[in-house]
Amino acid sequence: MPVQTQRPAQPDSGRAYTKGLRWSGELRFLTFFLAILAYSLTGIHKSSAATAEAITGNFYLQTLLCWIPLWAVCAVASLPVSVYRFYLGRKFQLVKSDVRRWLWDCFKANILAFVLGASIIEAAFSSNTLVPAYGWIVAGILCSLLFVAVNRSMPWLLSLFYPVVPLPNLALREKLLRLVAKANLRVGPIFEWRISTRTRAANALVAGVGSARRILLTDTLMSTLSDDEVEAIVAHELGHCALHHVRKRLLLQSLIFSAIFGVIHLAVRSDLVAFVDQNIGWKDPRLLPGFILYWNMAFIYGQMLLGAVSRRQERAADLYSWKLIGQAGPFISAMHKLTDLNLVVFDKDSEWKYMHPATADRIAAAEQYARAHGEAISTASATVPVSSQGI
């Protein structure tokens, strides 16, 4: 059967939208840095630490209390950037939410950020005070376990923002279960992730590890792609499971976390943490602004390393999906449609900033595979010269 390909309808809009997203990401980090700088230079971190020490003698509760005002300042500082991203989504007709619903989602996202940040902070400070010699290693392991828990809880976390229900399309459900059996994997329930009232973007993912795996498909994905195209996308996600990409990525993430905490621990021991007048080690809640600043800066570089590994894994999962379903045609047409839907377009030279490789390269590889295995490629259109971040 000929493989039908088509050009994305709005490559220029995609580039403009992606440029806006990239600019907003850079601006978000700048506002975050300025918020911490203002918070510390005005002495708020000292007064919050003194207040926390007056409230409780428990150091870990003191650290948590100090995190509250710092989180609030950072959340308020990031609000203008969030407003711009909302405007950008509405401008390019990607976002459908009204302002009230968007503000409520922002509030819930910031609460989750507070909980995640508090968990990382407590892991770092408790590990380095209880096990000073190896605290940075313990903190890295604890944070890795935290991210595993987040991954396993993904259906529940998503349900805080969108309806997540068992997949009602029984025919598609049976088709995907046969695909899972063919891949010789264990997967739990398949969920429909209903986001169409908020956005036109589409996505699919397999969350969890082992028997705790869950397949999640957005309703926008299923309403736009054919069942064969959805199968091709899910086959790609199953490829990550079959090739043990999740475990490998978690191991690398653990090493990156340990390295980050190791560098911060060295900075604490060497009295190189900003905004601290007197170095008394990890048992000082006044370390918090400097710790958060160093953590976020190091995390960005860690994500670059993780991104390089992730892009290799994405290519391997692509190949796995073509072999699993026996053809590359549905994958090619699905990738074209997803580029139109998600509207995140970047050139190959910018690939290093993303977790996925250039879509044009992925489609070209799929077309090469199709030709090598007897699938005819339509010559009506060429491979798109753009790339998108998504599946």
DSSP codes joined into one string, 131-178: STTTHHHHHHHHHHHHHHHHHHTHHHHHHTTS-EEE---HHHHHHHHH
pLDDT at 124: 94
pLDDT at 12: 73
pLDDT at 199 over 50: yes
Q: Please give the backbone phi and psi of residue 345, each rounded to the nearest 5 degrees, phi first.
A: -120, 130
Give the tens place of pLDDT for each residue, 294-313: 998 898 888 889 999 999 99
Q: Residue 149: exposed, middle, or buried by beta-carbon count in 10 A (0-12, 13-18, 19+)?
A: exposed
Q: Please give the backbone phi and psi of residue 147, each rounded to the nearest 5 degrees, phi first.
A: -70, -30
Say which amino acid occupies 278: Q
pLDDT at 101: 93
- Per-residue pLDDT, averaged over 125-149, amounts to 91
CA of 281: how far to CAs of 41, 99, 203, 288, in Å? 20, 45, 45, 12
- Per-residue pLDDT, averaged over 322-329, amounts to 94
329 Cα distance to chain centroid: 28
pLDDT at 218 over 90: yes
pLDDT at 210: 66
Cβ distance 15 to 387 under 8 Å?
A: no
pLDDT at 378: 59
pLDDT at 1 over 70: no
Q: Which of 94-108, 178-192, 200-214 is the least confident region?
A: 200-214
DSSP 345: B
282 Cα distance to chain centroid: 30
Phi-psi region of 373 (alpha: psi -120 to 50; beta: other; left: phi over 0): alpha
pLDDT at 240: 93
Give the tens place of pLDDT for each residue, 49-98: 999 999 999 999 999 999 999 999 999 999 999 999 999 999 998 999 89
- Per-residue pLDDT, averaged over 162-185, amounts to 94
How many CB atoms sit inside 10 A of residue 52's CB? 21
CA of 119: how far to CAs of 19, 47, 126, 142, 318, in Å? 33, 23, 10, 9, 35
The span from the CA of 239 to the CA of 250, in Å, is 16
Give the tens place of pLDDT for each residue, 333-391: 999 899 888 887 776 777 777 788 888 888 989 999 999 988 876 543 334 434 444 56
pLDDT at 230: 96
pLDDT at 211: 67
**Alpha helix segments (H runs only) across the chain:** 11-41, 44-55, 59-91, 99-130, 135-152, 154-159, 170-182, 219-224, 227-242, 245-269, 288-325, 329-342, 359-372
Q: Residue 199: beta bridge partners?
A: 95
What is the percent of the chain where pLDDT is above 70? 92
Phi-psi region of 271 (alpha: psi -120 to 50; beta: other; left: phi over 0): left
Cβ distance 67 to 300 under 8 Å?
A: no
User: What is the average pLDDT value for the chain, to the nearest integer?
Assistant: 87
Cβ distance 34 to 26 under 8 Å?
A: no
pLDDT at 342: 87
- Per-residue pLDDT, averaged over 139-148, amounts to 90
Q: Helix, strand, or coil here: 56?
A: coil
DSSP 3: B
Q: 346: closest CA among 338, 335, 354?
A: 354
Give the tens place of pLDDT for each residue, 250-298: 889 889 999 999 999 999 888 888 777 777 889 889 999 999 999 988 9
The span from the CA of 245 to the CA of 182, in Å, is 19
Q: Helix, strand, or coil here: 377?
A: strand
pLDDT at 128 over 70: yes
Buried b (16+ CB within 10 A) or exposed e, 111-147: eeebeebebbbbbbbbbbeeeeeebbbbbbbbbbeeb
Q: Please give the backbone phi and psi of residue 115, each rounded to the nearest 5 degrees, phi first.
A: -65, -45
**What six digits make up the tokens of 388?**
């998108």
Residues 6+ apart with CB under 8 A from 117: 67, 71, 292
The span from the CA of 187 to the CA of 175, in Å, is 14
pLDDT at 58: 94
